[in-house]
């Protein structure tokens, strides 16, 4: 939350902001401002793990818009060639900003992009959490046993606009309402109640606890200081003799 607010107490010391929430300690490597930039980076992290004989598996998540970037193909090729422990996850939420999947290519089965590289690939019902868990489990186990990459196209939906300035003229309210009927969180709640894993009251208590935790995080972020000007160039490449601007902080 503090990173989202650009505060010094954030995981990237406030230098990353919403697009570069990053924690090496927790193996959480972004957010990337360059759409699809994380695809080759994810394979690079998996390469590092393999090189160091770690049993870690990288989950490399990106959107349907990002899947149309050319670097996906170079990455898939090398990930297969080097048998890297990585699961590529395309979260197909139907839109890249306001551009529907149908408008970005002549085919809409994004998972099929893996087939050209003989990568185990398939669609997953992203509105069904159990199906998602099963597909991820299988892919992670494969990577951990030395079976290499998997490509999962998780078909889901984005209820909200891309940003606050998105007037959502590209879809109807009915379309959004249809997806809300099969909301994954509601589905999980129904399963929990049906199987009597918890009562309605217990779920309400969990909701309350989570809301309190989020408010606590918000307050922590609001009360934290902004980073000092002196760290502005700490995490970027810097050329000492850059001729055009005097970028040294006074």
Ligand X SMILES: Cc1ncc(C[n+]2csc(CCOP(=O)(O)OP(=O)(O)O)c2C)c(N)n1
Binding site for Mg ion (CB under 5 A): 63-64, 93, 96
Task: Tell which one of 18, 33, 51, 55 touches ligand X (CB under 6 A).
Answer: 33
Position closest to ligand X via CB: 63
Q: List beta partners, residue 29.
A: 22
CB of 67 to ligand X, least distance (A): 7
Could you give the 3-state DSSP secondary structure of residue 229?
helix
Does residue 97 bind ligand X (CB under 6 A)?
Answer: yes
**What mask of x and - would describe binding to ligand X in positions 130 to 169, judged by CB under 6 A?**
----------------------------x---x-------
Length of the chain: 250
- Using CB under 6 A, which of 1, 15, 43, 66 touches ligand X? 66
Considering the complex, what minimum distance in angstroms separates the CB of residue 207 from Mg ion?
Answer: 28
Burial (CB count <10 Å: 0-12, 13-18, 19+), residue 198: middle
Give the nearer residue to ligand X in terms of CB position, either 85 or 156: 156
Q: Which of 10, 69, 11 is nearest to 38 (CA)?
A: 69
Contacts of 228 (CB under 8 A, 6+ apart): 8
CA gap 146, 33 in Å, rounded: 31
Assigned token pair, 121? 């690939």
Tally helices (H) and strands (E) across the chain: 6, 8
Q: Which is nearer to ligand X, 32 or 112 (CB)?
A: 32
Give dist(CA 116, CA 113) in Å, integer: 6
Longest Cα–Cα distance in the chain: 68
Q: How far is the CB of 113 from Mg ion (least distance, A)?
A: 15
Residue bearing tokens 């149908």: 102
Residue 191 site contact among ligand X, Mg ion, none (CB < 5 to 8 Å, cut-off depends on kind) = none
**Does 65 help bind ligand X (rule: CB under 6 A)?**
yes
CB of residue 215 to ligand X, shortest distance in Å: 26
Closer residue to ligand X (CB): 76 or 227: 76
Count of residues near ligand X by CB under 6 A: 13
**Site residues, ligand X (CB under 6 A):** 33-35, 63-66, 93, 95-97, 158, 162
């Amino acid at each position: 939350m503090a990173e989202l607010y650009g505060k010094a107490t954030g995981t990237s010391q406030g230098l990353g902001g919403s697009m570069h929430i990053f924690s090496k300690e927790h193996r959480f490597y972004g957010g990337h401002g360059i759409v699809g930039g994380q695809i080759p980076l994810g394979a690079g992290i998996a390469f590092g793990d393999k090189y160091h004989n770690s049993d870690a598996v990288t989950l490399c998540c990106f959107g349907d818009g990002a899947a149309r970037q050319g670097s996906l193909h170079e990455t898939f090729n090398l990930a297969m060639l080097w048998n890297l422990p990585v699961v590529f996850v395309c979260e197909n939420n139907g839109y890249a900003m306001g551009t529907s999947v149908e408008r970005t290519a002549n085919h809409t089965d994004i998972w099929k992009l893996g087939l050209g590289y003989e990568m185990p690939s398939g669609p997953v019902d992203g509105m069904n959490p159990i199906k998602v868990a099963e597909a991820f489990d299988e892919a992670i186990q494969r990577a951990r046993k030395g079976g290499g990459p998997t490509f999962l196209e998780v078909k889901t939906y984005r209820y909200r606009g891309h940003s606050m300035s998105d007037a959502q003229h590209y879809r109807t309210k009915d379309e959004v309402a249809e997806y809300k009927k099969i909301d994954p969180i509601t589905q999980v709640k129904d399963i929990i109640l049906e199987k009597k894993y918890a009562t309605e009251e217990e779920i309400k208590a969990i909701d309350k606890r989570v809301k309190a935790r989020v408010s606590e995080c918000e307050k922590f972020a609001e009360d934290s200081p902004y980073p000092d000007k002196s760290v502005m160039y700490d995490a970027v490449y810097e050329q000492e003799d850059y001729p055009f601007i005097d970028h040294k902080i006074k």
